[in-house]
Amino acid sequence: MAGSVRVVLLGPPGAGKGTQAKWLQERFEACQVSTGDILRKAVAEQTPLGKQAAAYINRGALVPDSLIVDLVAERLKEKDCDKGFVLDGFPRTISQAESLEEILKKMGLALDCVLSVQVPHRVIVERLAGRRTCKGCGALYHLTLDPPSKEGVCDRCGGELYQRDDDREETITARLKVYEAQTAPLVNYYRERGMLREIDGVGKVNEIRSRVLQALGDRGT
């Protein structure tokens, strides 16, 4: 029987948050709440949110908090989050972290912990530049580290693999600067609150999974 989790995955772009979040979702029957995925879908569908968010995403900047916070609040109220959730890409600013605390408080919930995935700069650039995403199911691949069996095709659903516009080298640099300036301060924010668990994000996906489980106190095993 899997226990429940309510966690935040914190780390720079390319730290492997999405990969670990997808696995945690299955492992704990929790829902993965990826603000990046929600925004990309909105952009693809040209919804009002998508139209407002596109310019920020394309230049590697953060979408304004006002557009993100309500979206997360609504998402966490959905039925599939009842058993737990893995926040992937939110919060990304101190102000978002404060809003999250309020949202959870109103729901009578609290985070179990914040998993901070640490990866050196050099590894991040390599991972992001080679990352490919499935248009159909969102599965993640890497051209050399984790290639699909057939080039350009998702092993899981047969969907087409593509490179996110913001995974191109020019935008990667901008995103890393934004991370350092606006998101990295969250590491101390959560450390000071005794909620931070640090995880070495370098290695094989399985090795990192084991570290994540250990950080969660092996719950559900």
Q: Which residues bind ligand AMP (CB under 6 A)?
A: 13, 35-36, 39, 56-57, 60-63, 68, 89-90, 92, 96, 166, 175
- Strand bridging mode 31-34 / 140-142: unpaired
Q: Cβ 179 to ligand AMP, closest distance in Å? A: 9
- Of 63 and 111, which has the nearer Cβ to ligand AMP? 63
- Of 22 and 175, which has the nearer Cβ to ligand AMP? 175
Q: Cβ 1 to ligand AMP, closest distance in Å? A: 31
Instruction: Note if 156 is an active site residue.
Output: no
The active-site residue out of 27, 131, 132, 211 is 131
The active-site residue out of 41, 83, 164, 209 is 164
| Cβ within 8 Å of residue 26, ≥6 positions away | none
Instruction: Note if 131 is an active site residue.
Output: yes
Instruction: Note if 17 is an active site residue.
Output: yes
Closest CA to 13 of 173, 152, 195: 173
98: buried, middle or exposed (CB in 10 Å: 19+, 13-18, 0-12)?
middle
| Cβ within 8 Å of residue 79, ≥6 positions away | none
The active-site residue out of 27, 40, 132, 175 is 175
